[in-house]
Chain A
Amino acid sequence: MKQVLLAIDTSQGTSVAVLIDGEVAAEATDSNPMRHAENIGTLIARCVEQAKVKPNEITDVAVGVGPGPFTGLRVGIAAAKMFAAGSKAKLHGVGSLDAIAFRLDLEAPTLVVSDARRSEVYFGLFQGKSAKGIPQRLMVPAVGKQAEIESRLQTQAQPYELVQRPVSAVSIGWLAIALVSEGVKPEPIQANYLREPDAVQARPKKVSD
């Protein structure tokens, strides 16, 4: 049976792809970082149509679990969960920075960064790949000020190449396929927020102050 995989990532813009047995059958991306809820349905429908498959023929759904700005990131994961439920497909979670790294050669240590807003970046340090092409992490993804991270790596005499580029759903799909074929234990389908929710604990106070 052929594998029909729907891939979704909303850690930056909204990116959707359909891969049939690993071949790209359709791809659609809108880079607007504020319109995930508006775009997600249209882009999925467009890709499914372009790939000339019926929604219930989708066998796998792969989704980028971040890190990424919360509100947009959740839209993609919510969509992936529900699409998998509706089409009775298997669901795979993939790191969004790992998916960017998947397309790089990674011969030298590579610092992959993406916009985390509030003057910070999400970042991961990768070098080398497994036999199936899975990027090897030198550091788990984290969030911070780019200048601080770079100066820290320089202090540690850690060489790196800096890469900042959009994540594509095609990479999410390919990485998911690689992870399955290598038998890597799948990640739980959970948003990798890397930040605590903005919330202050309420304390009783004088309302009339």
Chain B
Amino acid sequence: MSHQIRIATESDLEKIMIIEKACFGNDAWSKSNMKSELLAPHTTYLVAEDSTGLIGYAGLSKLATSTSADIQTIAVSDSHRGLGIGRLLMQSLLDFAREQDAKDVLLEVREDKPTPQSLYKSLGFVAIDRRENYYQPDGIAAIVMRLDIEKTAKSAPIVLGIETSCDETGIGIVQGNKLLANVISSSMDQHARFGGVVPEIAARAHLEALDSVLAKALEDANISITDVDAIAVTNGPGLAGALMVGVGAAKALAVSLNKPIYAVNHLVAHVAVDILERGKLETPTVALLVSGGHTSLLLVRDILNDVELLGETVDDAAGEAFDKVARVLGLEYPGGPEIDKVAKDADPKAIKFPRGLSLPKDMEQNRYNFSFSGLKTAVARHVERAEAQGETISVPNVAASFREAVVDVLVTKAVNACLDNQVPRLILGGGVVANSRLREVAAARCAEAGIELRIPAFSLCTDNGAMIASLGAQMVMAGVKPSDLDFGVYSTIDF
């Protein structure tokens, strides 16, 4: 049974009070005290809930004038103890304390309660004081505990991630959930005259870019290479020859530093990037990954252990379709931004282009799969027919109608994936996320369906090393065994 943590609102007050009274009896706060706590500007209250409703809550207080934060209270309903909900609430509060730049976090705990004390100890809290007769009317002493949060944050592993699966040479550095550097060198310009990524050109560019990208990443992160605790590298899916540059580089770097190496799945890493912006990944989540190389729908229940590939393109990737249609329309490479530009203010309904794999029978057999090859051909036919008849086409209207068809299919299938699986959130990733219409339609339809939409910063959406480092860091922190040194690369999706 899954549970989730969210920020408390005043409407939670009644339910909080039920747990408060059950948990604390004589020590329980009054309803009015609890209400002012919930509403105070310097406090953060979180609630945990599952399908049965509210099952726990916890609060943090941090004054702007102080470098210390205080855990105000924490409670989990009797029937939900021992499920790790208290730990989850505490970890979430500590994340908030970090975000508010607290240097340490303080709490008091009843001396006669060993269970919460051991939870706090396991989170790094140390007893620093004892207050006699603190809890009245029972006359129980309080143990004051303190967590040096600055030091805890520093002990999060520094992971360097290398990404070379397509035409971007990316090296990112993270510390735990925090982004330290994200440097990208793209060979896109070298592919322009070919109208698409040429694998050999991409691989050559990776080799040439490695040194300078590494140097810049270390400089941005302001660390020495010997500070790195682990290396992560994309080993698929992607262009085999390109992947091998990164894998060779990463393995040698790991051996030279005598540090572990983690082989990372490129698509899952696109999802892990969200952790760098939010401090954690809300699960379950659906992810729609759209680029020149991929069009994939993932269902992520656990970023490390439970990622399901719901569907993918059966022919061209969406970004590839943009490139090919741009060529047909005489637009530049890469096609996505060019089509986006000319389609602005044009009529997306001017031409009714086909929606691939969207017929009723397809929606059964290929519900989450995509196809853009037929759409691309339809655009080409439309243009040729017009030319043959001596008509001039409206490039803006063709571009807008094509874009609408792609976006419609992408968003429809992604929203279906959320609704079918009762997943209330969707993350977008991949370079096509730059497309303004995709963002618009996704935002509107997610809002309509009550789905929370996450769109990471664009520099984290396109292929990058930070996402690889982020997934690597999650593996390190979860104690996942490092990869053996002899792993290879794979070009197609492999879950």
A interface residues with partner B (beta carbon < 8 Å)? 35-42, 44-45, 48, 54-56, 58, 70-71, 74-88, 190-191, 193, 197-202, 204, 206-208
In the complex, the chain B residue whose C-beta lies closest to that of A75 is B248
In the complex, the chain B residue whose C-beta lies closest to that of A190 is B208
Query: Which residues from 310 to 334 on chain B have a C-beta closer than 8 Å to any C-beta of chain A?
Result: 324, 327-328, 330
Determine how close the nearest CB of chain B comes to the CB of A206; give it in whole angstroms.
6
Determine how close the nearest CB of chain B comes to the CB of A12; give it in whole angstroms.
15
Inter-chain CA distance A207–B377, complex, in Å, is 6
Complex contacts, B488 vs chain A, CB 8 Å: 35, 37-38
Whether B377 lies near A82 (C-beta < 8 A) is: no
| Contact among B204, B258, B377 for A191, CB-based, below 8 A | B204
| Contact among B196, B225, B486 for A202, CB-based, below 8 A | B196
Q: Does B113 contact A (CB under 8 A)?
A: no
Whether B486 lies near A83 (C-beta < 8 A) is: no
Whether B328 lies near A207 (C-beta < 8 A) is: yes
Determine how close the nearest CB of chain B comes to the CB of A170; give it in whole angstroms.
18
Complex contacts, A36 vs chain B, CB 8 Å: 244, 248
Q: Does B393 contact A (CB under 8 A)?
A: no
Most buried by B among A40, A41, A77: A41
Whether A83 lies near B203 (C-beta < 8 A) is: no
Whether A70 lies near B203 (C-beta < 8 A) is: yes
Q: Can you give 18 A-B contacts (C-beta < 8 A)?
A: A37-B244, A37-B248, A38-B486, A40-B248, A41-B261, A54-B258, A70-B203, A70-B204, A82-B210, A85-B253, A86-B252, A88-B225, A193-B204, A199-B198, A204-B327, A206-B380, A207-B324, A208-B380
Q: Does B251 contact A (CB under 8 A)?
A: yes
Inter-chain CA distance A78–B377, complex, in Å, is 40
| Contact among B198, B200, B328, B486 for A42, CB-based, below 8 A | B486
In the complex, the chain A residue whose C-beta lies closest to that of B243 is A37
Q: How many A-B residue pairs have CB under 8 A?
A: 144
Complex contacts, B256 vs chain A, CB 8 Å: 55-56, 58, 82-87
Inter-chain CA distance A116–B204, complex, in Å, is 17
Complex contacts, B193 vs chain A, CB 8 Å: 201-202
Complex contacts, B330 vs chain A, CB 8 Å: 204
Complex contacts, A80 vs chain B, CB 8 Å: 252
Complex contacts, B377 vs chain A, CB 8 Å: 207-208
Nearest 6 Cβ contacts at the A-B interface: A86-B256, A202-B195, A41-B251, A79-B252, A207-B380, A75-B248
Q: Does B194 contact A (CB under 8 A)?
A: yes
Inter-chain CA distance A83–B381, complex, in Å, is 53
Whether B252 lies near A40 (C-beta < 8 A) is: yes
Determine how close the nearest CB of chain B comes to the CB of A82; give it in whole angstroms.
4
Complex contacts, A35 vs chain B, CB 8 Å: 488
Complex contacts, A70 vs chain B, CB 8 Å: 200, 203-204, 241
Further pairs besides A70-B200, A85-B214: 7, Cβ < 8 Å: A41-B254, A74-B241, A75-B244, A78-B245, A86-B257, A88-B225, A208-B384
Complex contacts, A83 vs chain B, CB 8 Å: 252-253, 255-256
Q: Does B247 contact A (CB under 8 A)?
A: yes
Q: Does B425 contact A (CB under 8 A)?
A: no
Determine how close the nearest CB of chain B comes to the CB of A163; give it in whole angstroms.
28
Given A37-B248, A41-B252, A77-B207, is A55 in contact with B258 using a C-beta cutoff of 8 Å? yes
Complex contacts, B324 vs chain A, CB 8 Å: 207
Q: Does B403 contact A (CB under 8 A)?
A: no
Most buried by A among B195, B198, B249, B485: B249
Whether A197 lies near B380 (C-beta < 8 A) is: no
Whether B328 lies near A44 (C-beta < 8 A) is: no
Determine how close the nearest CB of chain B comes to the CB of A66; give it in whole angstroms.
11
Q: Does B99 contact A (CB under 8 A)?
A: no
Complex contacts, A207 vs chain B, CB 8 Å: 324, 328, 376-377, 380
Complex contacts, B29 vs chain A, CB 8 Å: none
Inter-chain CA distance A104–B181, complex, in Å, is 48
Complex contacts, A190 vs chain B, CB 8 Å: 208
Determine how close the nearest CB of chain B comes to the CB of A102; give it in whole angstroms.
24
In the complex, the chain A residue whose C-beta lies closest to that of B247 is A37
Complex contacts, B204 vs chain A, CB 8 Å: 70, 74, 191, 193, 197
Complex contacts, A200 vs chain B, CB 8 Å: 194
Most buried by B among A37, A193, A198, A208: A37
Determine how close the nearest CB of chain B comes to the CB of A153; give it in whole angstroms.
30
Inter-chain CA distance A206–B250, complex, in Å, is 43
Whether B244 lies near A85 (C-beta < 8 A) is: no
Complex contacts, B458 vs chain A, CB 8 Å: none
Q: Does B489 contact A (CB under 8 A)?
A: yes
Determine how close the nearest CB of chain A comes to the CB of B241; give it in whole angstroms.
5
Whether A39 lies near B486 (C-beta < 8 A) is: yes
Most buried by B among A35, A76, A191, A208: A208
Complex contacts, B203 vs chain A, CB 8 Å: 70-71, 74
Q: Does B201 contact A (CB under 8 A)?
A: yes
Complex contacts, B138 vs chain A, CB 8 Å: none
Whether A78 lies near B255 (C-beta < 8 A) is: no
Q: Does B391 contact A (CB under 8 A)?
A: no
Given A41-B251, A197-B198, is A81 in contact with B381 using a C-beta cutoff of 8 Å? no
Determine how close the nearest CB of chain B comes to the CB of A104; give it in whole angstroms.
29
Whether B201 lies near A74 (C-beta < 8 A) is: no
Whether B248 lies near A191 (C-beta < 8 A) is: no
